[in-house]
Structure 1
Amino acid sequence: MRSRTRYIIGRDSQLLEIKQALTEARDGRGGVVFLVGEAGIGKSRLAAEAVGMAFTAGMRALRGRSSTTGPTVPFRPLTEALMALFRGGPPGGPSLDDLPLGPYRPALGRIIPDWSSDAQDNSSMVILGEAVLRLLIATGREHGQLLLLEDLHDADPETLAVVEYLVDNLEYTNVVLLATIRTESCDALDMAESARRRGVGTVLQLAPLTRPEVRSVIAAQLDTEPELVPEAALERLWDDSAGSPFLVEELLQGMIGSGALVRAEDGWRVVGDLRSDVSTALARGILRRVDRLAPQGLTLLSAAAVIGRRFPLTVLQRMTGIDDRSLLSHLHAGVAAQLVVHDEPAPDWYAFRHSLTAEALLTQLTPTNRAQMSGLAADAVQALYPELEGEWCPLVAELRSHAGDEGEAGRLFTVAGVRALSAGAIGSAVTLLGRAERLLAASGDAAGRTAALEALLPALAEAGDFAQAFGFAENLHTLGGSGLSAERLAALHTRLAKVAHTAGRWEDGNRQIAQARALLGAHPDERSTASIDVTAAYLALDTPGPDRTQLAEKLAYSALQAAERHGLPTVVCQAWELLATLARERDFDEATALLESALHTAEQHQLPLQRMYALTRIGGNNWLTEGNTVPLLAARGEAQRLGSATIVYTIDGIMILDAVLRAEFTAAAGAAEECLAVVQRLRLAPATRYVLMARATLAAHQGERAEMERALTAFAEWDGSGSQEEPLTRGLARAFCALLEEDRPAAVSELHTVADLESTNPSTYYLSGRYGIGLLLDVLSGAAGRGPYEEIAATAPGRMRWNRQFVHFAGAVLLGREGRPDLAAAAVNEALRTAEPYATALHLGLRLIAEAAHADGWGEPVAWLRRAELHFHQHSVAPVANACRAALRRMGAPVAQRRTGSGNIPDVLRTQGVTVREYEVFRLLAERLGNKDIADRLYISPRTVEKHIASLGTKTGRTNRSALCELSASLRAQAV
């Protein structure tokens, strides 16, 4: 039989795609290729062939694999791949001074240990992604570069965040990213499909081999012609392998090894029973080949399997005590037998050719033997790498677990999890710390379990997994009888209080704070109370009550002072952020300065989560003051890459409201529906209330009262009464809906309710009307004059862009009354500039001030009313459009006839009372369009389309939509 070489059969089209991608990269057009298929389908072979193509083309190939020796480690495959840059170049690797990395240089210390430093940057995943991109471009500038990441389905969330950035930005580079992914539900597969849909990546699906292709594989392995392959062997291998190349080869070796398939003078013959259990036959075949390596070879490879699919020679040698010559001899024999391969990206590392090989070796170990060998492996790693940096810590934790030392395994998983959380790797932290907590609970180590929980609880809160977090609260009291100190127990209750605040469960949070304070007694130490006070401050700010802002500010200052004295940077950041929120009512410059202090502290102490919070609040301030969403979206990207679901959906809620205020109603409706489904499922109460408030505002700004009331009913069911969002539901939703119904008294009444709510229950949300539309209505009615106007105009909330437009309109009315028409007109122009993003508010403002301007003889009230009338007519807000027309008539101005086109309505429909707008909808029914498509064509809302169709059904007697469509098509055909 010929020597077993890799055969690439049945993959010509995929090889052509990969070759084309490499060719284009050399010409400066990089790309992304995903190889997707089930285990054993040949992804690794194609990837290896791609590496060979790259070398042939003169390109460097960097290779990293996600399937590691132990549990998930942040950035593992990227580290492995990029470390190759230090092995092929001059001593010390690429010179930092010679590479054009600019300010992105420090970020790479998170991935490349050789480049880390005490001043290592802990910046966002976007920055890190850009740093990796620039490194790839710089080091492959001459001939191009292939970045191969294998088994991306096992990658940690942080690696996927960087890969996603690369996917979106490789097009105009000389780099090809090639990644292998299994066809199983995972984030990596979702990312690949998203890239394919957006046209920034190619997904190559590897299907099982066909029967003729299986024949060709067998023939190549047997060194014969395809037509000479015994039919019985082909049938058995075709049935058992399901077209998997790996299974074909392994099962074929089993047939040969068992003597069921033998070579005769006239070719290969079947002489035994080919039937067997596939998994048993596979394991037996692998072990039969291992047996040929002699007992010491079996021991060596069994020890390697205990370490994992990948294993380092240094650890293996120390674990087994084998000498250099014997070690290399057995490894070379294993390579020749196609059991192991040299792990190319990492020197001195080897890997089993397939995970099933390692599993087969483990099956022949007794539980006692495996535990003993796992302990030896853990001892070897700790002796060689006592600091257990990077992947060594979770590897040793896994080995200690297999050795039966659950306590030590749990403590090591805690260390690994805390490291991941400190680096902002939330997804990896939850996995590692969850494992730690379970092991330490089983071992009865209360102190160790507490340490794991102290890190796990905030990680779960960031990930939005509140159910699991609150599950720990039910049995937290059991730790009290385990000799745990009051301070440690108080810290756990404080962590749970923070989780409760994130989830919007104020009562639960305050109850946890009370328990924490009770545990510390009458004279607690400041280090413990600082964390309690800052968490209590956040809860106080959101718990309904007349003094909540004062109490929150007092607690935050107390926490800040204690934290600064005792060096608690996380608490310092949290306190600055809360104080900045409170300062917005006084002065945005003050608020921004406080947030900059929080941001500086977070960056100085490498606190990625606190940095994300500070960036989010800075972005929120930009949105409030100028309507600028760019910083907020950047913060969202940061939160998404860190895995903070709570911040992602908080920002999504703001973006939905922003779309509503900008009159981008269709986009807002779709985003609200999508976001609401997620936040309700996660039980994110604050985010849910905010999105429901935005949905109510969406309906109100279209004059759809019934839809608004439905959203407000749902809002109330999520503890809306007394929440900070409640005033917004009155000012942004109910008051605006009343104004679009031309019911000013109702709007004023709603705004008075807002004032009452905020006097008894202060809110840090300032768009509820007190500082904007309420002022304009009071000025128009004469309830407010120059004094109240100046007072509000001078406030920070009065200078927020949404409020500022109404403040300018109010100022214009006052100036007109005071006989200063030029200044009044200038104020209107300033209002229009401010209101430019907000179409509904802009035209409502013009409608509201026009009659006052006409009465006082200033401005262009007729032009303003015509502009407003057209807007509200086009958006089917009939009460306001009609009011504008009535006002124009009172001013003696001609009014546009909005029934243009009535002559085009067929007689049969005109006599039935079909209106122009209904006929426009009717004509489009001939194309059998959906409501949304019709709405997009006519620039109206889907809800309005639905109303017109219902009216058409009543008027024509065709209550069935299909019948209406047929009638429309029939009349259109007659017209032609």
Structure 2
Amino acid sequence: MHTRAPVVVGRDEELRVLDRVLADAGVHRGGAVFLVGEPGIGKTRLARFAAGAAFDRGMRVLRGRGSTIGPIVPFRPLAEALMSLLRAGDGLDLRELGPYQPALGRLAPEWSPDGGPEEPRPAHSVLVLAEAVLRLLALVGRTQPSLVVLEDLHDADAETLAVVDYLVDNLDQAPAALLVTTRADPGPALDVIRSAAQRQAGVLMELRRLDERQVSRMVALCLEAEDHEVPAEVVRRLWADSAGNPFVVEEMVHGLVNGGLLVRGPAGWQVLGELRIDVPSALVRSIAHRTDRLGPQGREVLSVAAVLGHRFPLSVLRRVTGLDDRALLSHLHAGVAAQLVTPDEPVPDWYAFRHPLTAEALLAQIPPPHRAELARRTADAVQRLHPELPGEWCALVASLRLDAGQTAEAGALLAEAGRRALADGAAGSAVRLLDHAHRLLASEVDVAVRADVLDSLLPALAEAGQFERAFALVDAVTELAAAGLGRVRRAELHTKLAQVANTAGRWTDGMAHVETARALLGADATDEHTARLDAVAAFLTLNLEVPDRIASAEFLARRAADAAKRVPLPEVGCETWQLLGVLARERDLDEAAECFSRARALADEHGLPIQRAYAVIRQAGLDWLAEGKAVELAEAREEALLIGAVSVAYNVDAILGLDAVLRGQYAAAAERLPRVIADTRRLQLRNLTLYGLMARATAAAHQGRRAEMDAAIEEFDEVGGVGSQERPLCFGLARAFCALLEEDRVTAGHDLARAIAYEAETPTVYHLSGRHGLLLLLEAVSGALDLDGYLAVTRSSAARMRWNRVFAQFALAVLLGRLGREAEAAQAVRAAREAAAIHPLARHLGLRLVAEAAVADGWGEPVAWLRGAEEYFHQAGQAAVASACRGLLRQVGASVPQRRTGSDQVPRELRALGVTVREFEVFRLLAGRLGNKAIATRLHISPRTVEKHVASLITKTAQPDRESLSAFAASLGPADRP
């Protein structure tokens, strides 16, 4: 008799919820369930039921546990769950995951594109990995929905919890369900679960203890009897002493039966002698009794297993105990028969205790000296089996050394495990490991070892965003100095602090650490020190408000690049040459291209795929800015996809979205940009989200959709766009163009002035906000710019970027025409139109403005230019500009296209009221609360005519007055059009 209940008792509501969630996953309405409760309350039992129910539904079951052989092993539960896909051998084509496939290599090296761990994998954020897992589940779900069971997450690493948090928020349209079990102990896991439940991203079920009736039913099931066949005194005592904990109930029933206190008789079960049950000592005694029956060797085997943890591998047990396979398996099979251990289902040649309390009870029986000796022997055995301590073994041996009292060894291993976690992108785990090592080694005499731990802890804290904790470690550096740490090593730590400050945006503090490091190094500075210090100083200087910051940053970056070449430090070289390329972009496009080419060559030479991807995209981006070429960008995107550089790929997607806008391909932009914005927002790639929102605002602005533009810019500000490099573009590339399409040059001028002011506050690397393009044309037309001023601005290579070149050449044409140099002006117009061949809005808006100047100054072909512009803007539904073109044509006596029949431009509801095309042109401008004179100027009609149209509109729309009519006009957006 196994004295285990064969069915789940007292969990009817939980079973209904689990069944519903599994059913929803089958129809792509994924969800999450969290089972929370004390040890032994039945979480694992319910998880097994859910797995069985999912299997019966034809679902794939993926299982992993947080309780592992060592502490703080990043992603272990996820890796264990997903590895079953490899063992199943279903031949999933992971190439369909695109750039997300390499991220999965952190969970299973076999999933890397190269098929193994030999090549270095690119560092991915935890959110990228979480998105990769989500997409993998979607891929698996094409043939089978899945249930992912992650058990015992109370001790899980921060990265696993981050992935879980991400999944529960994004499973709603996935063919997968997630089941998480954890203890009710306060901690990060419970915080994540409660937060998810509060935002209704999952169902939280806190398992309660069984009541007396349920305990009675459970005891009967354990004894394979009917309820009335179990003595009432046994039920009452078990319910009282177990406190309704199902595991404890089963253990006590087992103890009563095995101890001969509860026996089956002719009339059913009966008690022999006095009923004695003590809890929790009864549990300990029950397990001790069962282990005693296994003999000394069997007890030793399970003691070593308990030292390892809830789960344990046979290889280590074999090495520590010295038993051969036959003897070892014999003892383990006896443990299985005694219901103490069980084969671990997901992993071959591993076993696990049936319940964590079993391992804890075994440990409680081992005297501390013997436990320390077992920990030492086990650590030695693991290191002999796995000399390099790959993966989880490093953290395990660190834990064992700590239990053995070997503090220095434990600290060194924790530090190594932390460095590995940081290299793998698990910053949260890295901080915990390295911080523990830092505290353990605080009293070590060897200050060099402590300095090495600090050297790794500082960047880990920066990656985890714990900047204040990182800066607080300045005191630790001071203590090391007092303990005799050399000047050079202290300088290296201050360099790390400067890098942390740069990441945190604390430029002044960062420069202070740079100066401290330089002073400490003095004449002892090597090329490696110079390269690292100058590189971080260059980035810090670029953000300081000093007059010569661009020149100073460039000087430092060049010196860093030269030193990095001599050492060599290829990563520093790639970083600085790319910075030099960005700095050179405004001055000399060819020089910028050369810098990016050098960065790419370095990355190729030293096998740095991520640095190469960034160099390629920057070169392609430069070609796009210079000549509007998008082919190289698309190729750079494909290269990024191949190595899993997700952020690089999204960077290209965002640029291609803006490219579509500037080419007038608004449908393509409308398809690409929302996806970019949603994905980058989910992955917390804030800068790319801002770029996407700026591009969406520009798309709306270039179509004259002010309400949509304003909404996009409002969202841009909410995401954190204030102070970003994209903010000037929101005014110079979006708002100013929207104002020009409304024929409101005053507002356009104000928007451009704000763009330039923002650009001065936060230097941009985009150079498309108008200073080198659109502003030149508007100032040339208004007479605020002369040829000398034009030449001063256009000396910058930014004016030769294709988008800017369109307006710069149009501006030159206006200036030359005004000086009577008609042939040169005509050539400038031809050059502008050639540059604008791929930018229809820029071409026709430029022609409309140049034609106005040409009419005034008597040169060029303004009639032809205006006819082309009028046709374009009429077809685009930009009534104000089309009307202005017709007004200018009337002014020069040219025939004007009759557009009054174009009632399709008038919204349906206004057409039904009898509003004419001309009245609608006035109506649209009323939305801006403009006066009659301003409207007349824009439409090139008389103020008296405007007054008549306004009066007619008030009557037709049944508005009480002009103010109400203006509000009504403002309420109609692009969506109200036919």
Which letter does structure 2 place at the counterpart of 1:36?
F
Deviates more, 1:559-568 or 1:29-38: 29-38
Q: Distance in 2 between matches of 1:875 and 1:437?
A: 68
Taking a change above 3 Å as real, the CA distance of residues 581 and 701 of structure 1, as seen in their structure-2 partners, is: closer
* Structure 2 residue identity aligned to 1:398: S
Q: After superposition, where does 1:521-532 map in structure 2 within 5 Å?
A: 521-532=522-533
**AA partner of residue 866 (structure 1):** A
Q: CA deviation at 1:558?
A: 1.9
8 A Cα contact 1:426 1:644, kept in partner? no
Q: Note the 1:142-181 alignment, pairs <5 A.
A: 149-151=150-152, 156=157, 179-181=179-181
Aligned residues: 864
Contact kept, 8 Å, 2:32 with 2:168, in 1: the verdict is: no
Distance in 2 (CA, whole Å) between partners of 1:878 and 1:149 is 60
Q: Distance in 1 between matches of 2:847 and 2:284?
A: 80
CA distance in 1, matches of 2:965, 2:56: 70
Residue in structure 1 matched with residue 902 of structure 2 by the alignment = none
CA distance in 2, matches of 1:457, 1:939: 56
What is the CA distance between 1:328 and its match in structure 2? 2.7
**Residues 599-643 of structure 1: CA distance to partner in whole angstroms, max 9, x if unpaired?**
675687676885787689679869977799997994179899999
* Offset, 1:67: 2.8
- Whether 1:886 and 2:933 are equivalent positions in the alignment is no
Contact 2:123 2:425 in 1 (8 A): no
Whether the 8 Å contact between 1:751 and 1:774 is mirrored in structure 2 is no
Measured at CA, do residues 282 and 602 of structure 1 come closer, stay the same or move farther in structure 2, by a change above 3 Å? farther
Match of 2:405 in 1: 404
Q: CA deviation at 1:470?
A: 0.7
Aligned to 1:417: 418
Q: Does 1:689 align with 2:723?
A: yes
> Match for residue 547 of structure 1?
548
TM-superposed CA distance for 1:80, in Å, is 3.8
* 2:314/2:351 contact within 8 Å kept: yes
Q: 1:386 and 2:387 equivalent? A: yes
Aligned pair in 2 of structure 1 residues 4, 292: CA closer, same or farther (>3 Å)?
A: farther
The 8 Å contact of residues 208 and 242 in structure 1, kept in 2 or not, is answered as: no
For the structure 1 residues 333 and 424, does the alpha-carbon distance in structure 2 shift closer, same or farther, using more than 3 Å as the test? same
> Does the 8 A contact of 2:3 with 2:254 survive in 1?
no
Structure 2 counterparts to residues 12-161 of structure 1, below 5 A: 12-13=15-16, 16=19, 34-39=32-37, 40=40, 42-49=42-49, 63-77=63-77, 79-81=79-81, 110-112=106-108, 115-116=115-116, 118-119=118-119, 121-122=121-122, 149-151=150-152, 156=157
Alignment gaps of 5+ in structure 1? 677-686, 704-730, 922-933, 941-976
Residue 354 (structure 1) aligned with residue 351 (structure 2):
no
Taking the TM superposition and a 5 Å limit, the aligned residue runs for 1:850-861 are 852=853, 855=856, 857-858=862-863, 859=866
Can you list the C-alpha shifts for 1:832-889, whole angstroms capped at 9, x where unaligned?
A: 97486xxxx9999899778647646542688667159969958954359973543324
1:742 aligns with 2:746: yes
- Whichever residue aligns with residue 579 of structure 2, its letter is L
The two structures have a TM-score, normalised by structure 1, of 0.71
Amino acid at match of 2:547: P
Cα 1:166–1:784, aligned 2, differ >3 Å: closer, same or farther? same
Residues 657-715 of structure 1: CA distance to partner in whole angstroms, max 9, x if unpaired?
A: 44544554565466456544xxxxxxxxxx87339x94x99799999xxxxxxxxxxxx
Give the drift of 1:493.
0.6
Query: Does structure 2 retain, via aligned residues, the 8 Å contact 1:21–1:30?
Result: yes
Q: Is residue 965 of structure 2 the alignment partner of residue 916 of structure 1?
A: yes
SS at match of 2:724: helix
Return the alpha-carbon distance in structure 1 between the equivalents of residues 682 and 473 of structure 2. Answer: 20
Equivalent positions of 1:749-898 (< 5 A) are: 764=765, 766-767=767-768, 769-785=770-786, 795-798=796-799, 803=804, 807=808, 810=811, 818=822, 834=839, 852=853, 855=856, 857-858=862-863, 859=866, 866-867=880-881, 873=924, 876-878=927-929, 883-889=934-940, 895=946, 897=949
**Aligned residues of 2:84 and 2:346 also touching (Cα < 8 A):** yes
**1:208–1:520 Cα change, 3 Å:** same
1:519-544 deviation line (CA, Å, top 9, x unaligned): 11124221222111111111222222
Q: Is the 8 A contact 2:530 2:560 kept in 1?
A: yes
Cα distance, 1:892 vs. partner? Answer: 8.7
Give the aligned partner of residue 685 of structure 2.
648
**What does 1:76-475 correspond to in 2, within 5 Å?**
76-77=76-77, 79-81=79-81, 110-112=106-108, 115-116=115-116, 118-119=118-119, 121-122=121-122, 149-151=150-152, 156=157, 179-182=179-182, 208=208, 216-226=217-227, 245-246=246-247, 249-250=250-251, 266-267=267-268, 286-287=287-288, 289-294=290-295, 296-322=297-323, 324-475=325-476
| Change beyond 3 A, Cα 1:890–1:81 | closer
Q: Given the superposition, is the C-alpha separation of residues 59 and 675 from structure 1 closer, same or farther in structure 2, using an over 3 Å criterion? A: closer
Q: 1:576 to 1:830 in 2, by over 3 A?
A: closer
The residue matched to 2:351 in structure 1 has which SS?
A: strand
Q: Distance in 2 between matches of 1:785 and 1:221?
A: 97
- Cα distance between partner residues in 1 of 2:805 and 2:553: 28
Task: State the match for 1:568 in structure 2.
Answer: 569
Partner Cα separation in structure 2 for residue 247 and residue 565 of structure 1: 68
Q: Distance in 2 between matches of 1:158 and 1:901?
A: 62
Distance in 1 (alpha carbons) for counterparts of 2:320 and 2:348:
19
Alignment CA distance shift 1:84-1:491 (3 Å): same
SS of the aligned residue for 2:546 comes to: coil
> 1-side partners of 2:515 and 2:926: how far apart?
53
Q: Unaligned stretches of 5+ in structure 2? A: 652-676, 701-707, 884-920
Structure 1 CA distance for aligned equivalents of residues 679 and 85 of structure 2:
27
Find the aligned partners of 1:641 and 1:489 in 2 and give their Cα distance.
44
Instruction: Work out the CA distance in 2 between the residues paired with 1:588 and 1:170.
Output: 46
SS of 1:315's equivalent in the other structure is helix
Against the structure 1 CA distance between its residues 141 and 634, is the aligned structure 2 distance closer, same or farther, given a 3 Å change threshold?
closer
Report SS of the residue matched to 2:360: helix
- CA gap of 1:751–1:466, structure 2 versus 1, over 3 A, is closer
Match of residue 682 from structure 1: none
1:874–1:939 Cα contact (<8 Å) kept? no
Residues 222 and 250, structure 2, Cα contact 8 Å, conserved in 1: yes
Residue 723 of structure 2 aligns to a residue in which SS?
helix
- Post-superposition offset of 1:385: 1.0
Cα offset, 1:374, TM superposition: 2.1
Structure-1 separation of matches of 2:233 and 2:832: 92
SS of the counterpart of 1:408? helix
Give the partner amino acid of 1:416.
Answer: A
Q: Which amino acid aligns with 2:519?
A: A
Q: Partners of 1:493 and 1:634 in 2: how far apart?
A: 32
Separation (CA, whole Å) in 2 of partners of 1:803 and 1:231: 91
Distance 1:812 1:247 in 2: 91
Q: Could you say if the C-alpha distance between residues 204 and 550 of structure 1 is closer, same or farther in structure 2, counting changes exceeding 3 Å?
A: same
Compared CA separation, residues 592 and 182, structure 1 to 2 (3 A): farther
